[in-house]
Amino acid sequence: MSFEKFRLNEKVMAGVRTAGYKEPTPIQAQAIGPILEGRDILGLAQTGTGKTAAFVLPLLHRLMQGRRGRVRALVLAPTRELAEQTHEAILQLGRKTGLTSATVYGGVSITNQIAGLRSCVDVVCACPGRLLDHIGRGTIDLSALDTLILDEADHLFDMGFLPDVRRIVRHLPTRRQTLLFSATMPAEVRSLAKDLLDNSVHIEIGRQAPAATVSHKFYPVQTGQKTALLRDILEKTDMPSALVFTRTKSRAKSLAAQLCKIGHKATSLHGNLTQQKRRQSLDGFRDGRYEVMIATDIAARGIDVTGISHVINYDMPATSDAFIHRIGRTGRAEKTGDALSFITGEDATLLRSLKKLLGEKWKYQAVSGLTVSPADCENAPAAVRSARPVCGRKSVSSRTSSVKRSGGRSFSDAGWLSRAPQTA
Ligand code: AMP
């Protein structure tokens, strides 16, 4: 199948060519047609499937018609990084269209943001908290909106944003097209979809399964030995680009500092950093200035970085879904990747489900003097997990916006599985 089939506006097709997309990914093949027809969409799909272009391309096509310079489309995203990535995709794919996009999220003063929103903007990519501030202040006009996109709805839910999303929706015109994308479908997201979508087309891409291209090693370790183990692994393994996950922001920060002290090119990415610092970390990791990035789940989910060779779970996540998301950062676009996971007695419950999930791919790894017996982890009583930090609306202390004309950098990476669409 080729993109020609969709008869997209020539200026949008120019963006497809510049991005180097030869043929639509499965989610694009299934979603672009119905979106062009104006249908609502419920898309079960993860980052890495080409989901962004699946909604951006038909959106740009539709925005080419109608009056410009008013907010006609709103993309709601759980994190600043995801809002920024979507904004960049709009700029890149719409570079010849002259359509404008703005981001609305934490980082700089609201005054700059207000000025940005006063200029002509066709699309706003926003995190819910700051958008509500603008709605409250009357500094954004959403009366001309005709497309609402909820991206990573399950992550919006995890971060406690669903009440904010519902509040925002009350300020939008009821006659609109709504597209909802989510990697998983918890009951709350299902209920939101039921309330917001009208006669939607259901699309499901890629089951919740770990990528086949990733190999796994599980290191049974005592909590106090994790840093020594990480240092040992970093010293002995060739790791061009390693993404290390910790459970807390403070641990991400201190671990990165410790690694820098002993000569590693390391950075951190978590919700306590300013937007500028987050961007510097991510850009530096993308372009290879940093070999190791220590991140929390909140900051790292949905991030599209190509060529990550290793994902290291310094702290295990709470659920197998979160595990799949994390390891999905490596082994992308048919490349191979390695996932190294440090496990303690606290992870006993998760281990059981991961063992089932990974089957033959499950492998324990011992490091003399640093790891313990697997039985110490497996047979530990299912410990009560320490409370995981939730960086929801309250953590978004200051926010930023930028308005740009189309035209941006290119992305290249994909990995997907497909399923036939169903109509609800
Ligand atoms: P996403 O799932 O939207 O995060 O996209 C994952 C990656 O796939 C991004 O780097 C996109 O630029 C890339 N991508 C999207 N669509 C295509 C396509 N049709 N062909 C090749 N790469 C694509």
Please provide the DSSP assignment of 354-408 as one string: HHHHHGGG--B---TTTB--HHHHHTS--PPPPPPP---GGG--SEEEEEEES--
Range of the domain at 122: 3-208+396-416
pLDDT on residue 158: 83
Structure tokens at 37: 């027809």
Please tell me whether residue 176 adopts helix, strand or coil conformation: coil
Q: Which of 131-140, 149-158, 278-287, 356-365 has the highest mean pLDDT?
A: 131-140
Report how far ligand 1's centroid is from the alpha carbon of 360 (Å): 30
Protein residue whose Cα sits closest to atom 20 of ligand 1: 21
**How many Cα neighbours within 13 Å face the side chain of 299?**
29
Per-residue pLDDT at 394 exceeds 80: no
Lowest mean pLDDT among 134-138, 173-177, 235-239, 416-420: 416-420
Structure tokens at 268: 């951190």
What single letter denotes the amino acid at residue 334? E
Query: Would you give the DSSP letter of residue 200?
Result: P
Protein residue whose Cα sits closest to atom 15 of ligand 1: 50
Kindly report whether the global pTM for this prediction surpasses the value 0.75: no
Our count of domains for the chain comes to: 2
CATH of residue 120's domain is 3.40.50.300
Report how far ligand 1's centroid is from the alpha carbon of 147 (Å): 22
Report how far ligand 1's centroid is from the alpha carbon of 310 (Å): 21
Confidence bin at 421 (pLDDT 50/70/90): very low
Other C-beta atoms lying within 10 Å of the C-beta of residue 111: 9
Query: Does 187 share its domain with 262?
Result: no
Which residues neighbour 49 within 8 Å (Cβ) at sequence distance 6 or greater?
Answer: 25, 26, 27, 205, 206, 414, 415, 416
H/E element holding 313?
strand 310-313
Query: Does 192 share its domain with 317?
Result: no
> Which residues line ligand 1 at a C-beta cut-off of 6 Å?
21, 24-25, 28, 47-53, 304, 411-414
Please tell me whether residue 10 adopts helix, strand or coil conformation: helix
CA distance between the termini of the chain:
25
User: What is the rounded distance in angstroms from the CA atom of residue 305 to the CA atom of residue 48?
Assistant: 10
User: What is the rounded distance in angstroms from the CA atom of residue 14 to the CA atom of residue 53?
Assistant: 14
Query: Does 189 share its domain with 235?
Result: no
Query: Does 90 share its domain with 181?
Result: yes
* Any domain includes 423: no
Q: Which atom of ligand 1 is nearest to the CA of 23?
A: 19
pLDDT on residue 381: 63
Query: Does 355 share its domain with 412?
Result: no
Report how far ligand 1's centroid is from the alpha carbon of 19 (Å): 9
Q: Average pLDDT for residues 28-37, to the nearest whole number?
A: 96
pLDDT on residue 50: 87
